[in-house]
Amino acid sequence: MNRKPLLILLSIIVAGLAAGCILKYSRQSHAREYSRQFFAMDTVMSFTAYGERGEEAVEAAVQEVERLDALLSTGIAESEVSRINASGEGDLSEDTEKILSEGLTIWKQTGGLFDVTIYPLMQLWGFPTGNYHVPTKEKLKQTMSLVDSSKVILDGNHVTLGEKQKMDLGGIAKGYTSNRIMEIFQEYGVTSAMVSLGGNVQTLGKKPDGTDWQVGIQNPDNVQGDLLGAVAVQDQAVITSGGYERYFEENGQTYIHILDPRTGCPAESGLASVTIVSSNGMLADALSTSLYIMGLDEAEAYWRIYADEFDMILMTDDGTVYVTEGIRDRFRTKGKMEVLYREEP
Do the annotations mark residue 285 as ligand-binding? yes
Confirm whether residue 112 is marked as ligand binding: no
Q: How many CB atoms lie within 10 A of CB 306?
A: 12
Would you give the distance in Å from CA 234 to the centre of its chain?
18
Phi-psi region of 167 (alpha: psi -120 to 50; beta: other; left: phi over 0): beta
User: In 3D, which of 130, 175, 124, 171 has the Cα closest to residue 149?
Assistant: 171
Whether residue 317 is annotated as binding a ligand: the answer is: no
The rounded distance, in Å, linking the Cα atoms of 3 and 231 is 32
Dihedral sign from CA coordinates of 107, 98, 265, 238: positive
Mode of pairing for the β-strands spanning 246-250 and 2-5: antiparallel
Indicate the annotated binding residues for Mg(2+).
Answer: 171, 285, 289
Indicate the annotated binding residues.
Answer: 171, 285, 289
